[in-house]
């Protein structure tokens, strides 16, 4: 299946249009998961996921490093709260420019 149907293209498009809201929700769920995690392996995986989601959301790199190094779910919860209130200024990564190889 090399080509997506019209319906599939719309679904994919809507997913990426709402990616920020999905990531915000995922980050808040990760706070809960970190509080409930029972093993170090689970915690490590949740922190790894949280780092990726914060980076994708555009949380400043210094802030991401601080949260990950602290390994404290309450610090992550504070970041989620600031994002939801609009206090934290997010730095959206720049999209690479499309170049055409056709001449």
- How many whole angstroms separate alpha carbon 61 and alpha carbon 72? 17
Q: Does the predicted TM-score (pTM) go above 0.75?
A: yes
Cα(16)–Cα(50) distance, integer angstroms: 19
Q: In the chain, where are the structural domains located?
A: 23-85
Query: pLDDT tens digits for the chain (103 residues)?
Result: 569 999 999 999 999 999 999 999 999 999 999 999 999 999 999 999 999 999 999 999 999 999 999 999 999 999 999 999 988 888 876 655 545 454 4
- Which pLDDT belongs to residue 22? 94
Q: What's the pLDDT tens digit per position in 51-63?
A: 999 999 999 999 9
Please classify residue 29 by burial: count the beta carbons closer than 10 Å to its beta carbon, then call 0-12 exposed, 13-18 middle and 19+ buried: middle
């Amino acid at each position: 299946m090399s080509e997506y149907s019209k319906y599939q293209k719309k679904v994919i498009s809507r997913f990426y249009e709402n990616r920020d809201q999905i990531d915000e929700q995922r980050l808040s769920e990760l706070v809960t998961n970190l509080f409930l995690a029972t093993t170090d392996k689970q915690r490590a995986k949740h922190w790894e996921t949280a780092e990726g989601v914060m980076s994708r959301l555009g949380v400043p790199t210094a802030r991401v490093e601080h949260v990950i190094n602290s390994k404290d779910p309450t610090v992550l919860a504070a970041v989620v709260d600031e994002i939801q209130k609009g206090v934290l200024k997010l730095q959206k990564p720049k999209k690479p420019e499309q170049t055409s190889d056709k001449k």
